[in-house]
Structure 1
C-alpha cells in the first residue's frame, strides 16, 4: 500500500514548548516512480537528479464519496523530488520507472528566474531513496 507522511513542526506548536526549540522538517513518501531520474547540471555547475513520485491518495475519512457520474477528484499526488548529494543521485539513477520507492528528506521551496520573472516551487530534497519493489516494466 502506498502512503505518504509529511511532518513539519514549528516551535509554536504544543503546550510548554520552548520558543528557542528547533523546528522540524521531515518528509517520508512511498510511491511509484513516474519515469527514470533525470540528471541536470545547474548554471552554478552543481549536479542534481530530479525525479517524480506518484503517491496514491487515501480517501479522507468521514467524507461521502462523490456520485459516480459527478466530477472526478485527483486520486494521486505527483511530487517532485530532487537529489543534491552524490549518494542520493547514485541511488536515484539505479531506479526505474514503475519502481515502488520510499523517499526520506525535507520539504524545500526553491526560487528561480523564469520567463515571468522570479518564481518558486516546492519540492522534496531527498536524503535517502530505497527501492521497495521493482515495477512491472523494470526488467528482471
Structure 2
C-alpha cells in the first residue's frame, strides 16, 4: 500500500436546517457575533432492536452543530435565516475556551466563512 501526501486542512461544509432563531450579541471587545445551530440528519440506518411487533425499522439520528458568524457578510446572512430554514455553511472547526462560574471550559463550533439559504429536499 502506498502513502499519499496531503496538506493540513480544516474545512467544514454543512447543509441542514436552522434550529431556533440566530442570536446576535456584542462581545466585551466591541466585536459583534451571530450564533446559530444547524441540525444535519445522519444517513438512515436500520434499528438494532425490534419493536413490540417484532419488526425492525429505521431511525433518523441528527447532529446539532453550533455555528459562529464573525464577519459582516456572514452575520447579515445568518440574521436573515429563521427557525427551520435550510442553510449551507462553509467554514472551519474551532475550539473555543471561556470561563464559567465553575471554571474554564471549551466547546467546538464551526466558524462560518460563507453561509447561504438553500431549499432542502428530504
Same fold (TM over 0.5): yes
2:30 counterpart residue number: 45
Q: 1:100-135: per-residue Cα shift (whole Å, max 9, x none)?
A: 11000000000001111111000000011111128x
TM-score, scaled to structure 1: 0.72
Is 1:119 the equivalent of 2:101?
Answer: no
Q: Which runs of 5+ in 2 are unaligned?
A: 53-58
Q: Scaled by the length of structure 2, what TM-score is found?
A: 0.82
SS in 2 for 1:90: helix
Q: In structure 1, what is the equivalent of residue 69 of structure 2?
A: 83
How far apart in 2 are the matches of 1:47 and 1:16?
41
Contact 2:41 2:60 in 1 (8 A): no
Segments ≥4 residues shifted beyond 2 Å: 14-17
2:85 counterpart residue number = 99
Larger strand fraction of residues: 2
Q: Taking structure 1 as reference, are residues 74 and 122 closer, same or farther at Cα in structure 2, changes over 3 Å only?
A: farther
Structure with bigger RCO (C-alpha 8 Å, 6+ apart): 2
Unaligned 5+ runs, structure 1: 1-13, 135-140
